[in-house]
Amino acid sequence: MNIIFISNREGKSRSLTLNNWAKVLLSVCLLGLPVCSGVYIGMQFGGDKFGLLDTIESMKQELALQQAQLDAGRETARLKVEALTLKLAAMQARLVRLDALGERLTDMASLDDGEFDFSQQAALGGPEQEWTVDYQHSDLELLYTQLQHQLESRESQLGILESLMLDRKLKQQSAVTGRPIKKGWMSSKFGYRTDPFKGHRAWHNGVDFAGKEGADVVAVASGVVTWSAERNGYGQMVELDHGEGYITRYAHNKKNLVNVGDTVKKGEVVGLMGSSGRSTGPHVHFEVYKNGRAVDPASYIRRTIR
């Protein structure tokens, strides 16, 4: 093999003849250099091959875990929104029922228009406090808070209305009003009259209601029975104590239906109309006492409790 060297400056060429050993050595150098480079590069990158794959696999697993956590968070948020939505629907239905009940009770109680207006937001107010914290709410949280305040307002109004109606009911029950009979007519008034037995002018301490023998005699107010027996001139008589200085008497009964110590309600039957004692026929002698003094029952018979 001949190797020719050419010089650019002198324009001359030289040749070099290689023997067989030189040829082998040159071939080994020319061919071994790329092979060695390839082996070196392979060793550098091939040794880290499995570490790189492990890193990629770890990143994939982490991404999958984050995606699962995100999906779980979305599902939890969805369930919470559904639960809040159902709770809001229940609160709205409850509010509608409270408003309907309030309107009906207001109408039953015959209260002045506007005193308990359940169709309007309850009146609230007051100066703003410096320590008041400004919270940021979502639309759903704001709606929930508003409904909660409305429910509390309605419940407060209903509580006041219930107390008012209870007081009124107790007042109506304990107030002396109405007639002591269900059927009959007033046969004698309070004050001076002609005595039915002797014919002279005499004082009549109550009013008489004539009717059918055995007819019901009813209490004109709730009270406690303080007398249930025969009494001179009254025949079979029932006496009720209504408190606040009021006492009523129901005389000439055919039969008393209550006993001393019994508690009776307004309108309850306390006896049966008769003609016992000093009487000319079936009737009930009705008396009203205020602080120990007999008063005209007529004003209480016509009395209306509002």
Identify the band that residue 134 occupies on the pLDDT scale cut at 50, 70 and 90. very low
Question: Which position has the higher pLDDT, 111 or 80?
Answer: 80
Do 237 and 290 belong to one domain? yes
Residues 112 and 160 in one domain: yes
| 276 and 170 belong to one structural domain | no
Whole-number pLDDT of residue 133: 43
- Judge if 203 and 242 occupy the same domain: yes
**For residue 125, is it within any domain?**
no
In terms of domains, do 154 and 191 share one? no
Identify whether 162 is part of a domain: yes
User: Does residue 100 lie within any of the structural domains?
Assistant: yes
Q: Are residues 199 and 252 in the same domain?
A: yes
Does 147 share its domain with 194? no
Tens of pLDDT along 181-208? Answer: 998 899 999 989 888 888 888 999 999 9
Best CA proximity match to 286, nearest among 248, 230, 241: 248
| Nearest by Cα to 206 from 242, 245, 252 | 252
Number of domains in the chain: 3
Residues 233, 154, single domain; the answer is no
179 lies in some domain: no
Q: Are residues 42 and 141 in the same domain?
A: no
**Residue, of 205 and 106, whose pLDDT is higher:** 205
Choice among 83-87, 122-126, 244-248, 292-296 with the minimum mean pLDDT: 122-126
Higher-confidence position of 94 and 215: 215
Instruction: Look at 73-77, 104-108, 130-134, 184-188 and tell me which has the smallest mean pLDDT.
Output: 130-134
Choose between 55 and 42: higher pLDDT: 55
pLDDT score for 119: 55
User: Are 88 and 192 contained in the same domain?
Assistant: no
Domain with 18 in it: 2-46
Q: In the chain, pLDDT over 90 holds for what percent of residues? A: 32
Q: Are residues 270 and 215 in the same domain?
A: yes
Q: What is the CATH number of the domain that holds 290?
A: 2.70.70.10
265 in any annotated domain: yes
Residues 189 and 154 in one domain: no
CA distance readout (Å), 242 to 33, 177, 239, 272:
127, 12, 10, 21
Residue 204 falls inside a structural domain: yes
In-domain check, residue 168 = yes
Kindly state the average pLDDT of the residues 101-105.
Answer: 65
Task: Decide if 252 is inside a domain.
Answer: yes
